Structure formats: C-alpha cells, structure tokens
Amino acid sequence: KDVQKEREPHVYLSKEEVKEKIQSYNSSVTDKLKMTLNANGIYTGFIKVQMELCRPITVQSSQSQGRCAHSNNETAFYLPDGCVNTLHISSTNTVREVIEALLKKFFVADNPAKFALYKRCHKEDQVYTCKLSDRERPLYLRLVAGPRTEMLSFVLREHETGEVMWEAFSIPELQNFLRILDKEENDQLQILKNRYAAYRGKLEEALRGVLKPG
C-alpha cells in the first residue's frame, strides 16, 4: 500500500542523545552492521536497500568507466527480484546522495533522476510505503527506527512515468529509453504471437478429431 503522507519531522538530537541511541542501536544489532559516532558528532553506519525495479538498468563495464555514457561497453538488463544491497553512509548523506552512491557502486549508467528511494514501515499489521524527499537522511531514519528491517526498510524504485523530469536526461539517454521500450514491445508481441500459434494449433487439432470420418 503506497501512501503519500506528511513528512516526519527531523527532530534535532543532542550529541548525548545521539550517543545513547547509537548504543541502544548497537546492542540490538544481530548482523554486525553497527553505527559509529565520530568526535565531530557525525555518525556512520549501514543501510540495506531492496531493489524493486520494473525496467532494465544500463550497466557500464569496468573498461568503460570514465568514458562517455552509453558507449558500446554498456549493457541493459533486468535486476532479479528481491535483490538487496548494503551501503555504508554517514548521517549527513541525503536521499539523493544515497541513490547516486548506490548506482555508482554497481556501475549503473542511468541518470539518478530516474529513481526514488522509499521507506517501508509496518504499522498495525499493515505495510506502508512512502517516497522520501531528496533532502531526508536515511541513516537518521535507520537510527530512530532501530536495526529491525521489519520495522523500517528502504526500497529503490523508478519514478512513476508522470513524475520523471524528462528534461533532466540527455538525448542519448532518451534514445536508449526508446530502444528499451521498442525491445519490450517486440518481446511482448512475440509472446502473444507464440501464444496465438499454440492456441490455433490445439484448436485445429481438436477440429480434425471432431471431423474425422467414422
């Protein structure tokens, strides 16, 4: 269930309150992904992000790193369902920076503007999914919610079509989207043709059985 609701305010925490929350957080961690408080008050830790992407992503090969985008060394493919990635971030990192870091980690060449980060919460036996604004800080949300992913988890999705700022994309990127859409359309058309051919074959076979003499 996707809901758009009022953003939860970022409550200012004193350094002592942050220290207490981190100690409580680390005492509950079961996967060794603990948080660390630095002397300057900034803390670091880990978040897990589940990838729920409906469309293929474009990935650069290691040889094409640093070259122009959408070269011959790029491949578009679908991520498997339920893919989860772990990022080490700080309390100053925003949602937009987390998305950019996640894409960079896996050599994804697609424009970060295509994607949005969501938080998924469990409340009163229901699951709520809410899109985070670019300025929110995921590690703060993780600290406040605690380490249990059933209480709070992060999900990366594409923006809805109507939400995408198409003017933020370059001409090669837009052309690549069109190529992907053409491929998807051709694949679906071939599936329909194969299904129709199989149905026609069974129907003709049934007719021959009915019309067979004797």
Q: What CATH number matches the domain at 13-59+73-162, 3.40.600.10, 3.10.20.90, 3.50.30.30, 1.10.10.10?
A: 3.10.20.90
Contact at 8 Å (CB) between 131 and 5? Answer: no
Model confidence at 71, pLDDT cuts 50, 70, 90, reads: very low
Q: Which one has a higher pLDDT value, 132 or 75? A: 132
For residues 23 and 34, what is the distance between their CA atoms, to the nearest angstrom?
9
Q: What is the pTM of this model?
A: 0.66
With 90 as the cut, is the pLDDT of residue 72 above it? no
pLDDT tens digit string along 179-204? Answer: 777 887 888 888 889 989 998 988 88
pLDDT tens digit string along 17-28? Answer: 999 999 999 999
Q: What was the pLDDT predicted at 2?
A: 46
Model confidence at 4, pLDDT cuts 50, 70, 90, reads: very low
pLDDT tens digit string along 87-129? Answer: 999 999 999 999 999 888 878 888 888 889 999 887 777 888 8
Domain boundaries, the chain: 13-59+73-162, 168-209
3-state DSSP helix/strand/coil % of the chain, to nearest 5:
40, 25, 35
In this structure, what is the dihedral angle of CA atoms 161, 163, 164, 168, given to the nearest 10 degrees? 160
With 70 as the cut, is the pLDDT of residue 151 above it? yes
